[in-house]
Amino acid sequence: MNVVITLPKELITAIIDGRKIFEMRKTAPLHLRLGEDGFFCVEKGTKNVWCWCRVDAIYDRKYPVKYGSHLPEYLAVSRKWMDDYMKGKSVKLWSIGQVVRFEKPLLIDKDLFVDRAPQSFAYAPLSFGRSY
């Protein structure tokens, strides 16, 4: 089952451009079929959904991370931001596979039936069984 996540516009752009290849979260959806399902990206502060991304794998990582100096680049964030977010925590790295960009953004409420942009993630019931 697909999920919806909220990201700032610059991180959505980094995903669409292929610069951001991992999404880092504290948790991962239980009902997400790796290699088939994925996440819709809603722009923070709006109802606009700009793309769908297939999740190919999910990696558990503890601070400090073994990916070395390249992980902030793969996340499209600064080293300081990553270190502050991860300090003393275990995180999930969602490996981004195929990306489908929408020419005209979907609306989170009208097209996906999710009432608001989620803090962590929300399942997208309308998209169940319909991955891109």
pLDDT per residue as tens digits for the range 105-128: 999 999 888 888 888 888 887 664
Tell me whether strands 90-107 and 3-7 are parallel, antiparallel or unpaired.
unpaired
Residue 22 reports pLDDT greater than 80: yes
User: How many Å apart are CA 27 and CA 5, to the nearest integer?
Assistant: 12
User: What's the pLDDT at 64?
Assistant: 61
Question: pTM for the complete prediction?
Answer: 0.89
User: How many Å apart are CA 64 and CA 87, to the nearest integer?
Assistant: 8
User: What's the pLDDT at 126?
Assistant: 64
To which residue do tokens 């999920």 refer? 3
Residue 87 reports pLDDT greater than 70: yes
